[in-house]
């Protein structure tokens, strides 16, 4: 269906601009009417990325929470979606909600309508909604999705916290080094050479380093960008390159263990939610493979699913995969023996989430002094290389 850009006016006279899928301008006008908008102008545009406004996790949390509360109060899905559409501040999300309303009014189920927007509602989301519809527990599924999305939002915040401060300190260290090598040291090179004495080795190294920065600064900018582009291309086009990069991510000192715990916490939480919603173990593993975000873990889950399909127990399959820690295996065994696998997986998720939070604090306490030492070492090298010859020259003066 073609994408159309439009300019419209709402009931208060406010001009609204956006884009929407429509067969033609007449269809566009009818769709906007359902949103309470009067079309002023519209035209088809080339389809690029879906929408101009990003739909983030916060919008999805509001979506699930809103539907959960209204459905528990006896409000129909169409009326709930309409109310959410009218109260949303995100123009792109309003368009998506309008399309959902039209699809449901046309006879589709909510899960079928959501599946038409895979960039917004992933496979896990759609499968859980479908399971809720089939079991008659849609409000409970929406409640679980709300809690899961809130947890993922908190986990994402923890991950950003882990990366933001070290990156900031690293940028500061790079800027300080560039300032000294491109400006400060070149200002003093002439003075040092005019002193008429042999320069020590560390001063010669500093001058050579500064000259390289001055004459080949474009390489310092271009090489990292080229390496990044090449790596991104390889990862996107070659599965083996993606596998090696993800394996390297999990093997990084300090950070690798945290990344693995974050992935396992997400996996356990989603697996528990899908299992509790009535989705089979094999279907859950198949869907989760696409959302773990790491090729190494994905391969492990594929091996687990294959072994379970051959008749092995869940615990034995995870244990034979050889990549899941003893805590996961132990909790799976307890859950399988007691018939409460979802509770056991929820406990695993809780443990890893707490452990990730503590690990982030420990790593940050180590990164800060490490980067401070690196910056101090560079500054000390510059001061020693510059002031050393000056001090030696002054010491040789006979006053």
Separation between Cα atoms, residue 321 and residue 394, nearest integer Å: 70
Q: Per-residue pLDDT averaged across 233-245, rounded? A: 87
In the structure, what pLDDT confidence band is assigned to residue 50 with cuts at 50, 70 and 90? very low
Beta-carbon contacts of 342 under 8 Å, excluding residues fewer than 6 positions away, are 272, 273, 275, 276, 335
Tokens of 191: 């003075």
- Which tens digits make up the pLDDT trace of 147-185? 888 888 887 777 777 677 777 877 877 887 788 788 877
Instruction: Look at residue 48 and tell me whether its pLDDT is greater than 50.
Output: no
What pLDDT does 215 receive? Answer: 85
Strands 38-45 and 15-21, bridge-based pairing: unpaired
Separation between Cα atoms, residue 54 and residue 10, nearest integer Å: 22
Q: Which residues pair with 7 in a beta bridge?
A: 17, 41
- Which tens digits make up the pLDDT trace of 112-124? 999 888 888 888 8
Give the least confident one: 6-15, 150-159, 194-203, 258-267. Answer: 194-203
Beta-carbon contacts of 299 under 8 Å, excluding residues fewer than 6 positions away, are 243
Whether the CB-CB separation of 22 and 1 falls below 8 Å is answered with: yes
Which residue is listed with tokens 């198949």? 286
pTM, 2 dp:
0.67
Tokens of 169: 């300190």
In the structure, what pLDDT confidence band is assigned to residue 226 with cuts at 50, 70 and 90? very high
Separation between Cα atoms, residue 260 and residue 244, nearest integer Å: 15
Neighbours of 129 (CB within 10 A): 25
Q: Per-residue pLDDT averaged across 377-398, rounded? A: 72
Beta-carbon contacts of 47 under 8 Å, excluding residues fewer than 6 positions away, are 2, 3
Instruction: Look at residue 291 and tell me whether its pLDDT is greater than 70.
Output: yes
- CA-based nearest residue to 259, from 164, 170, 360, 329: 360
Tokens of 300: 């492990």
Tokens of 95: 């368009």
Q: Which residues pair with 21 in a beta bridge?
A: 3
Which residue is listed with tokens 């996107």? 236
In the structure, what pLDDT confidence band is assigned to residue 357 with cuts at 50, 70 and 90? confident
Which residue is listed with tokens 């000192």? 253
Instruction: Look at residue 4 and tell me whether its pLDDT is greater than 80.
Output: no
- Which tens digits make up the pLDDT trace of 59-114? 889 899 989 898 888 888 888 888 888 787 777 888 888 888 888 888 889 999 99
């Amino acid at each position: 269906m073609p994408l159309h850009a439009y300019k419209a006016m709402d009931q208060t006279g406010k001009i609204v601009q956006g884009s929407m899928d429509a067969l033609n301008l007449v269809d566009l006008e009818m769709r906007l009417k359902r949103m309470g908008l009067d079309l002023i102008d519209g035209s088809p545009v080339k389809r690029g990325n879906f929408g101009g406004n990003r739909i983030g996790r916060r919008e999805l949390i509001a979506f699930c929470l809103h539907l959960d509360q209204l459905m528990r109060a006896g409000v129909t899905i169409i009326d709930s979606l309409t109310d959410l559409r009218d109260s949303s501040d995100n123009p792109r999300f309003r368009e998506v909600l309008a399309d959902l309303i039209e699809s449901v009014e046309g006879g589709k189920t909510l899960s079928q309508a959501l599946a038409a927007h895979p960039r917004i509602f992933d496979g896990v989301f759609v499968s859980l909604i479908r399971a809720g519809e089939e079991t008659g527990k849609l409000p409970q599924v929406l409640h679980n999705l709300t809690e899961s999305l809130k947890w993922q939002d908190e986990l994402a915040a923890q991950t950003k916290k882990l990366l933001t401060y070290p990156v900031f300190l690293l940028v500061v260290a790079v800027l300080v080094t560039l300032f000294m090598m491109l400006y400060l040291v070149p200002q003093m090179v002439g003075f040092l050479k005019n002193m008429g004495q042999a320069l020590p080795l560390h001063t010669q190294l500093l001058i050579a380093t500064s000259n390289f920065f001055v004459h080949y600064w474009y390489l310092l900018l271009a090489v990292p960008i080229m390496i990044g582009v090449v790596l991104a291309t390889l990862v996107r086009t070659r599965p083996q390159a993606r596998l090696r990069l993800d394996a390297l991510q999990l093997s990084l000192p300090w950070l690798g263990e945290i990344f693995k715990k974050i992935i396992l916490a997400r996996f356990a939480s989603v697996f528990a939610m899908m299992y509790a919603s009535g989705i089979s173990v094999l279907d859950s593993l198949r869907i989760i493979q696409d959302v773990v975000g790491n090729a190494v873990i994905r391969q492990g889950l594929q091996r687990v699913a294959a072994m379970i399909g051959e008749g092995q127990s869940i615990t034995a399959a995870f244990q034979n995969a050889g990549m899941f820690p003893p805590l996961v295996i132990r909790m799976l065994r307890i859950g399988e023996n007691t018939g409460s696998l979802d509770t056991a997986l929820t406990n695993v998720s809780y443990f890893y989430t707490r452990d990730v939070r503590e690990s982030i604090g420990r790593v940050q306490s180590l990164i800060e002094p490490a980067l401070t030492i690196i910056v101090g070492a560079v500054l000390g090298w510059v001061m020693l290389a510059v002031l050393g010859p000056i001090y030696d020259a002054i010491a040789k003066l006979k006053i």
